[in-house]
Copies of this chain bind each other. A is one copy, B any other.
Amino acid sequence: MFELHPKLKEDTFIIGSFPLSLLLLNNDSNYPWFILVPQRENIKEIFELSEDDQTQLLKESSYLSELLQKNYRSNKINIAALGNVVPQLHIHHIVRYKIDAAWPDPVWGKVLQKPYSNELKSIVTEKLKGILKNNFTFKI
């Protein structure tokens, strides 16, 4: 049975789920930083998913990316599947601005993680839920 990796549990907040993937908010308020985790067991690489699941992941990733770019008016969406530390397949979707803390570099290793206050966390997660409320495949 699928279970979210303890490190992802610790470092993120669950916003909801698409048919395949959990949607998480990464606990780093430097950037609007979301993570998709396909709810499948023992998967480390995208190519290990079934073809149908890969296609569904692509759909969810592109849908989320476009939604983020529109609603956050970002300069760029950074998408990455790394997984050197947390082996469970998870795909970062990071909203980037030309004025953010790391621009134009990738976010990793640039500035210290800045955990959310409870208030700001609620604002960001509620915003996402609002953006997604007309998507009937998304469950809170």
Binding site for B on A (CB under 8 A): 44-47, 54-55, 58, 61-63, 65-66, 69, 75-85, 96, 103-106, 108-110
Q: Are B69 and A62 touching (Cβ within 8 A)?
A: no
* A54 CB to nearest B CB, Å: 6
- Report the bound CA distance from A69 to B77 in whole Å: 26
- Report the bound CA distance from A105 to B84 in whole Å: 7
Q: Are B69 and A45 touching (Cβ within 8 A)?
A: yes
A63: B residues at CB distance < 8 A? 47
Q: Are A79 and B81 touching (Cβ within 8 A)?
A: yes
**CB nearest neighbor in B for A97:** B84
A104: B residues at CB distance < 8 A? 84-85
Q: If the complex has contacts A58-B58, A76-B44, are A82 and B106 also in contact, measured as CB distance less than 8 A?
A: yes
- Report the bound CA distance from A62 to B80 in whole Å: 14
- Report the bound CA distance from A68 to B44 in whole Å: 15
- Report the bound CA distance from A138 to B81 in whole Å: 25
**CB nearest neighbor in B for A92:** B80
